[in-house]
């Protein structure tokens, strides 16, 4: 007896090889279109968060000025850690650490600023320099990060952990708002606070992230050094991925097309890498007599 055949409509039809290849090709094209779009959305969100970080830093500078009558300094030297007087953080010209340490109480970093519950200055310093603050990190580049090492010129070669930072103040030439040793007042910014840089993204070698670099090793508490101070007499450049080398004291970022900078009035602007060198230099100088229009950058 011949078995009955199923009606043709009920049979399952398999994909042919050609049909499978066509489907795979379509999926590949769709993924090729989707991934760049997803990356753009992520970068836009990261750039916005970076902008918000700098806005908070700018507000912290303003609050510091209100509390102490001046903006924070750039500290003394790269090898001078946070300085405490009678168990309390020193301020103004007496504070040897850089601007990052000095604005901590205005960035919800009061505990790190005071050195936690440590009973002596050595342990206060350890806590302060090792405590990361997410506001100091650009999400386009990395999450909060530390490095641990010893240097004979820093605290007699003690093995220490340093919390890093993605932002730097203007400027290395000593013509900006953040200067070595001496604090600057708002009244000293004769070009106007809306025409003067305060802090922005700093350029780094991405290949060496997480390793001790000469411009990314001491961290946010660093006194006057390229960790926390950059130049404006040379234009900004994007981060790069190289074999050795550093950011060359320049401002820069992992953003596409430019970097974020907060001005002395607290406003944050996206500065393109294509900005004219003279304009960038003028914006870095608090009192050169050049008033720059927003159309120039």
Taking only the tens place, the pLDDT of each residue in 51-87 is 999 999 999 999 999 999 999 999 999 999 999 999 9
Question: Smallest Cα–Cα separation from 113: which of 170, 72, 154, 152?
Answer: 72
Number of other residues whose CB lies within 10 A of the CB of residue 55: 16
> What pLDDT was estimated at residue 189?
97
> What pLDDT was estimated at residue 24?
79
pLDDT over threshold 70, residue 35: no
Residue 126 belongs to some domain of the structure: yes
**pLDDT band for position 185 (cuts 50, 70, 90):** very high
Average pLDDT of the segment spanning 238-250: 90
User: Could you give the CA distance from residue 56 to residue 197 in angstroms, rounded to a whole number?
Assistant: 15
User: Could you give the CA distance from residue 182 to residue 184 in angstroms, rounded to a whole number?
Assistant: 7
Domains held by the chain: number:
1
If DSSP codes are grouped into helix, strand and coil, which group holds residue 34? Answer: helix
Residue 3 belongs to some domain of the structure: no
> What pLDDT was estimated at residue 16?
80
Contact yes or no for 225/219 (Cβ under 8 A): no
pTM: predicted TM-score of the whole model, two decimal places:
0.86
Residue 83 belongs to some domain of the structure: yes
- Which backbone phi and psi does 290 adopt, to 5 degrees? -100, 120
Q: What's the chain's Rg over C-alpha atoms?
A: 25
User: Could you give the CA distance from residue 124 to residue 67 in angstroms, rounded to a whole number?
Assistant: 22
User: Could you give the CA distance from residue 66 to residue 169 in angstroms, rounded to a whole number?
Assistant: 19
Put the strands of the sheet holding 268-272 in their side by side order: 229-230, 167-170, 197-201, 258-263, 268-272
**pLDDT band for position 188 (cuts 50, 70, 90):** very high
pLDDT over threshold 60, residue 8: no
Residue 32 belongs to some domain of the structure: no
> What pLDDT was estimated at residue 150?
96
User: Could you give the CA distance from residue 285 to residue 271 in angstroms, rounded to a whole number?
Assistant: 16
Residue 162 belongs to some domain of the structure: yes
**pLDDT band for position 23 (cuts 50, 70, 90):** confident
User: Could you give the CA distance from residue 224 to residue 171 in angstroms, rounded to a whole number?
Assistant: 10
> What pLDDT was estimated at residue 239?
96
User: Could you give the CA distance from residue 3 to residue 22 in angstroms, rounded to a whole number?
Assistant: 37
> What pLDDT was estimated at residue 92?
96
Query: Which domain does 88 fall in, by range?
Result: 39-296
Contact yes or no for 170/189 (Cβ under 8 A): no
> What pLDDT was estimated at residue 244?
77
Average pLDDT of the segment spanning 152-161: 96
Q: C-alpha distances in angstroms, 234 versus 78, 251, 272, 275, 284?
A: 22, 9, 14, 11, 10
pLDDT over threshold 60, residue 108: yes
Residue 200 belongs to some domain of the structure: yes
Residue 28 belongs to some domain of the structure: no
Mean pLDDT of the chain: 91
> What pLDDT was estimated at residue 154?
96
């Amino acid at each position: 007896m011949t078995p009955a055949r199923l009606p043709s409509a009920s049979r399952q039809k398999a994909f042919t090889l050609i049909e499978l290849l066509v489907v795979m090709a379509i999926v590949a094209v769709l993924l090729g279109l989707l991934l760049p779009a997803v990356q753009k959305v992520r970068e836009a969100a990261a750039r916005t968060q970076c902008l918000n970080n700098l806005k908070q830093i700018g507000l912290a500078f303003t609050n510091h000025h209100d509390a102490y009558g001046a903006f924070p300094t750039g500290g003394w030297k790269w090898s001078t850690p946070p300085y405490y007087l009678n168990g309390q953080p020193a301020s103004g010209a007496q504070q040897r650490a850089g601007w990052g340490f000095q604005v901590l109480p205005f960035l919800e970093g009061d505990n790190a600023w005071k050195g936690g519950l440590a009973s002596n200055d050595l342990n206060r310093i350890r806590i302060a320099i090792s405590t990361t603050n997410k506001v100091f990190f650009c999400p386009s580049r990395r999450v909060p990060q530390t490095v641990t090492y010893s240097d004979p010129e820093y605290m007699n070669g003690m093995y220490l952990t340093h919390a890093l930072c993605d932002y730097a103040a203007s400027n290395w030439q000593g013509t900006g708002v953040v200067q070595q040793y001496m604090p600057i007042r708002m009244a000293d910014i004769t070009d106007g606070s809306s025409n003067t840089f305060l802090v922005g993204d700093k350029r780094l070698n991405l290949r060496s992230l997480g390793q001790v670099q000469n411009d990314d090793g001491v961290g946010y508490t660093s006194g006057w050094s390229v960790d926390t101070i950059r130049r404006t007499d040379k234009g900004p450049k994007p981060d790069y991925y190289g074999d050795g080398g550093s950011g060359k004291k320049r401002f820069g970022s992992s953003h596409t097309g430019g970097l974020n900078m907060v001005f002395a009035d607290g406003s944050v602007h996206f500065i393109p890498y294509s900005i004219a060198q003279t304009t960038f230099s003028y914006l870095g100088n608090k009192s050169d007599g050049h008033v720059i229009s927003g159309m120039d950058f």
